Structure 1
Amino acid sequence: MAMIRPFVHIIILAYTFVGFFSSPTSAQDQTAADSLLNVLHTDDTISDSSRCVLYYEIAFYSTDPSERIHYAEQALKIAEELQNDQLIAFGLRYKGNGLRSQGQLSEAIKHYLDAASLYAGSNKGLEAGVIYIDLGDIYAIQNNYQNSLNYYRQGINIFRQSKDSVKLATALLNVGELYRTNQKLDSAIVYFQRSKAIFSKIGYAIGLAYNLGNIGLVLAEEGKYELAEENIAKATAILVKIDDQYPIAVFQTALADIYANRGAYDQALVYGHTSLKIGEELGLKEQIRDASLKLSEIYQSAGNSDEAYTYLKQYIAYRDSINNEETIRQMADLRTAYEVSKKQAEVDLLQEQALLNNIVVWCAIFIIALLLILTVALLKIYRIKDRAIRIVRERRRVIAAQRNQLDEVNKTKDRFFSIISHDIRGPISNFQGISGLINVLAESNDADGLKQLGSMMEASAKEVSVLLDNLLEWALSQEGKIPYHAEPVKLKELCQANLGIMLNMAMAKQIELRGRLTQEVIVDADKNSVSTIIRNLLSNAIKFTPEGGEVKLEIAEVDGMGLVSVIDTGIGIPKDKLNDLFQLKGMRSSWGTKGEKGIGLGLTLVYEFVQLNHGQIEVESEEGKGTTFKVYLPLTKKTVLAESN
């Protein structure tokens, strides 16, 4: 596997104050920050100016970006009340440091430039040098190599002139990191070694830790893994003591890369997930991005494509969040504004061409204002047009959906009336020949024949009656005219009534019809529609059960619902018809065990009435063994309350 360079930027975020704070000698020490917080919370006699300084020191030492921002903002409020430009500049820079750690780069650079503007034309050259390093760091994060190097060099020149060892070593360290991220490894090592020598000489622990870690990263990229791991281990040991988590996360990513190149994927994943966890806990977008990319590469090498894809998506999301075009544009605009402000300060100091410069500035402002007004107007026009297009598209979509729905309804009705016209012809035809048969049988005094003919007429009449009842109820349900009056319904009483209605039909086929109605079950439903459900299911069961068979009607309470079960020992239902059993599709005509005609409308009506009563229906069937229909209806609230008590 080829060496994949980890995309990192190790940046020193802390510098000592010159001529302002005397106590701090190192930065990013959470223990020191916690101690200062204790002082802040226990001493009520601190003056405003001292409290402001204390807030800055806490922000200076804190390793939590959110905490840095919070205390820098607290200090800024006091500094603005005191109208102290130096204090305001410190607060702007520290808040910028916190914003940068969170990946809010455009906001960070704005705060840095505001701080630099306060130093323009003053004797605060050293503080201006710190801001140049900060700006170089921001452009390094954005991979803007030339701008970053220019700002670093300006800072280095200031620090060399002032002979400030810590700041000079820090600037050298960041230049080395810039060279490393641009694959100029020889130059990177030179700057790291120079920085390391200064930090070692003055005993600056955190600077030494960053140098050791960065040297380890260079060695890793050169394939010298053992030396790289040794340097990173030394750096991590120092950083753990001062609780500086951000560089630890970066170095964990580097270790993950080292072990991945060795083929030790399990250990590599441990380091990668550790780095990601730190980034997520501290809200470090850049580190989350780098760790996600490394985990994606490791999982891909280990053959786990699903996990690799998951972390690749996370990497792309964070990469785009940090490097989006709007952020880059804002940074370019801020840098341009700063350069203009810097030149204007120089002109003010020389007191030359003041009037001309003012005219130029006002003209620029006027032009920018016109451009902004034009941009806003065009944006509003675009939004109005886009909104109109979206509304038209949505209305077209709704109309198309309604048209499709109407087409489907029409097709269903066409199928329905086709079925009715086909299947009602049989019973009606029976009546057409009855008058002739009556005359023939009457002339021959065939009493038995007349009785048999009477039975046939009765069966045909019942068949037509049931068919017409179902047709009427189905048609009313399609138009939404079925009356629905929910009330407590006693299933035992309702089932007994319908058993009595169906008893003659069952006896005619020598079928044993019996009910198991020992338990009183009360449901909240419409009584008429529930009766139709029971009647149709019983009629269907009798129709498809042969002579000598059995049909049972049972009720019970199951899982907070009332259950009505119709069980028969009939011919069963083929598996290929179960899925469309309750839908009115195609020619649904079928014949009972004694030639009874059916079109499937009854089951469709049963299904719709079950839905009307907020219930459910299930069917279990096996060909040659019988069928069971189960209808679940909601119990009344009184029943539910009684059971819960």
Structure 2
Amino acid sequence: MSRGLKVKIVFVILIACILTGFFSFSANCQSRVIADSLIQLLNENDHWNDTLKCHHYNEVSFYATDPDERIYYAELAVETAKRINSDRQLALGMRYIGMGHSKKGDLSTAIEKYLIAAKCYANIKLDLGVAVVYLDLADVYSIQNNFTTADKYYQKSIKIFRHKNDSIRLASALLNLGELYRLNKKLDSAIQYFEESMIVFETVDYPSRVAYARGNIGLVQEVKGQYIEAERNLKGAIFILSEFEDYDPISTYQLALSRIEASRGSERIALSYADSALAIGLNEGLKEQIRDASLQLSELYSSQSNFKKAHYFQSQYITYRDSINNEETVRKMADLRTEFEVGLKQAEVDLKQKEVDLLQKEAYISRVLLAAGGVFVILLLVVVVVLWQLYHMKVRAANVVRRKRQVIEGQHRRVLQLNATKDRFFSIISHDLRGPISNFSGVAGLIQLYIEDGDYVELKRIGRILENSSHELSTLLDNLLDWAMNQQGVFPYDPEEVSAEEICNPTLRVLSNSANAKNITMTEEVHSEYMVYVDVNSATTTIRNLVSNALKFTPEGGTVTLTVEREGDYAVFVVEDNGIGIPEDKMKNLFGFDGERKRWGTDGEKGVGLGLNLVREFVELNKGKVTVTSKESQGSCFRVYFPLFVEE
């Protein structure tokens, strides 16, 4: 194909893109072949003007199958769109950047880019573009299990699609919204949206999507116990999807039919459906379907007292469940191992092939030597070149192996370091849990003894010991729970617009009794007009830990203040005290687990540093920072920077 013909073909695609203004259903339209062709055209036509380049950058990003490649070309499109002042192309580029980050799991960045894309579409009054981006946002929030926000964006997109009479996108949005409601157990609403979606898909003659809607209705009816209706819809969906060889949903629907038959006591039919679902999963490589079918088969065989097969499928279920949970880590390690092994095998094959070639050439040289010395010289030069290339190939292969070995060794050292940190952390926690719990031992006997002696002064002292120990234990356990959830990645992070007062004042009220008990003057209430964009729970935990530490290390009659000020794009929460301060040797590892962590408060309170570790992690979680200044015997000042809320 000539270069001119290629340009004409891509130009036709380009005109279509200009007329539509944006792309939809990107997951079904990506084509590696088209992307490679477009990249080749870009490389061959460096003289193109910025307008044409911008369109092609966005096209490559649209068709790209690799998320990093999609982001790369979309960023080129954004940069070029800004130069030519094109909001339409800027919106496209921002949307594709968001899609790339969403695919990589960086959902916060994806949301940021999607919001910019929606704003660009709104600036040029392209409502359909705004609606498509709203669908993208809804999908991201669905992944985050943020039902309320996902529902809001689905409803907004549906409203626009209705107004613009865009039937296919309307039906798709309704289908996705129904699935959101199904997963969140709002079954009646889910059926309503599925049914409306099915009607629209039938109108535009889209049978595969009609089957999706019908099958999902069956899933809801199965949960509600409406087995007859569920069975009719599930079988109807399977019949249609079989014609399209769309096996993923078929497997899901067959598992639902298996559960229905099991509830009826028809175990033989239930086993048949579950076996079929498992076979589809194995044939198509669908791990989630294999996992769910294995669990269903295990339960069915267990109910038949066939414990051997039940155990087999239970083991298979656990294997695939763990495989799915650790899929990303396993995939990376497998890719690295495969690349290493393939490289070695390829090097061996190349070496053997070169050796064969060399022998053949040497035999040929021997024969040619009898005919002419000149040919011998030429062939000898060829052999030298081949050997030189072979040598360089060996050197490159050795360098690759060495680099990969260094990476693996570095990862091994990192694992050992993390294990050491974990062991030290558990040692600290077990030691410091022992203290408060030990205080409870024997207290019951002392209380009984003092009651019999009428020694109420000692009873009051015992009461204070119990109160301090329980408060110390409760605070330590709260921080330990928060830290553990954050390390596992399950600590809820839901940033929102919130006032500085809402973060500070609950903490001040909770800790006021502790301040009064030590006769410490503490800020009673914070007054501030600043609004920050943070997760309320983690931000409040951060301030509570800092104020609690300040009270712990401030002697009786001291002062603890909590104020809020502004510095650039941040609201700065300042916790200051005139307590015992922090030794210089502890400042270096203040927010970690290294070094000696235990310190005693001015009234005998114990601290292990877990609260400060939480402070650092939660501040970073909320895209902020924390600084500290302190002098022994003069007090400490912690400054926490949280980002201010910015109107979009």
Alignment TM-score, normalising by the size of structure 2:
0.42
Q: Tell me: higher relative CO, structure 1 or 2? Use CA pairs within 8 A at least 6 residues apart.
A: 1
Q: TM-score, normalised by structure 1?
A: 0.42
